[in-house]
Amino acid sequence: KGKRDLAGKRVLISAGGTQEYLDPVRFIGNPSTGKMGLALAQAALHRGAMVTLVHGAANWDVPLGVQAIPIINAEEMQQVMLEYLPNADIIVMSAAVADVKPQDYSTEKLPKRSLPQSLPLEPVPDIVAQLGQLKQPHQRLIGFAAQTGDIVTPAREKLYSKKLDAIVANPIDKPDSGFGSENNQAVFLDSQGRQQKIAPCSKLQMAHYLFDFIRHISGK
């Protein structure tokens, strides 16, 4: 308690789900509420950091002292993350980015009768992979991997392919964890091969475990 190990550090966090609109009322999205990112912001603030929270749809109030930047879609999130990347010491990408967007956008609401039978999609930018390419050696980049079934193997693969320093493998098929829950459980992995299993706990507790975990990633 009272740990101020992030004093003077800038922590950049993405949180919540992105939404890719087809017209002014319909979108592709996911059930993320951003509570894990909110908990990360609270934990970082508590430990003395300057915190920027880039978030999609959220049903909570931003904590006093956190700089919050709301966004809707992946391209907006990408722009803000790239803008804040150079000054950040720790970047945590806990947002659930919708992986695809409709190819076309209609500025007018599409009448039901003219809704397409199928929807051509295109990929959105992989933001964390881009941050992994651009980051400086002193910066720490942490991703999340929401998975069903075996959570560790795909998370490890993402850790290396996206050039992350650490990843949180997060089961979304277990009771009382993942999307929208107050609690969470995970396996933390880092680029040096360390692995730590986190038993079910509050998202705030998990956020503190994560900041403890990444302290032990040695400098490059």
Nearer to ligand C5P, 10 or 101 (CB): 101
Q: Which of 97, 104, 98 is nearest to 119 (CA)?
A: 104
CA-CA distance, 114 to 55, in Å (whole number)?
32
Query: Which H/E stretch holds residue 201?
Result: strand 195-202
If one asks whether residue 143 binds ligand C5P (CB under 6 A), the answer comes out as yes
If one asks whether residue 15 binds ligand C5P (CB under 6 A), the answer comes out as no
Q: Can you read off the two tokens belonging to residue 67?
A: 């700089």
Stretch touching ligand C5P by CB under 6 A, among 62-70, 92-100, 185-193, 197-205: 92-100
Nearer to ligand C5P, 49 or 155 (CB): 155
The reply to whether 87 belongs to the active site is: no
If one asks whether residue 158 binds ligand C5P (CB under 6 A), the answer comes out as yes
If one asks whether residue 210 binds ligand C5P (CB under 6 A), the answer comes out as no
Number of helices (H) and strands (E) in the chain: give both, helices first: 5, 12
Question: What is residue 138's DSSP assignment?
Answer: T
Chosen residue from 6, 36, 74, 204 binding ligand C5P by CB under 6 A: 74
Query: What values do phi and psi take at 216, rounded to 5?
Result: -95, 5
- Residues making contact with ligand C5P (CB under 6 A): 74, 93, 95, 97, 99, 124, 126-128, 143-145, 158
The residues assigned a catalytic role are 30
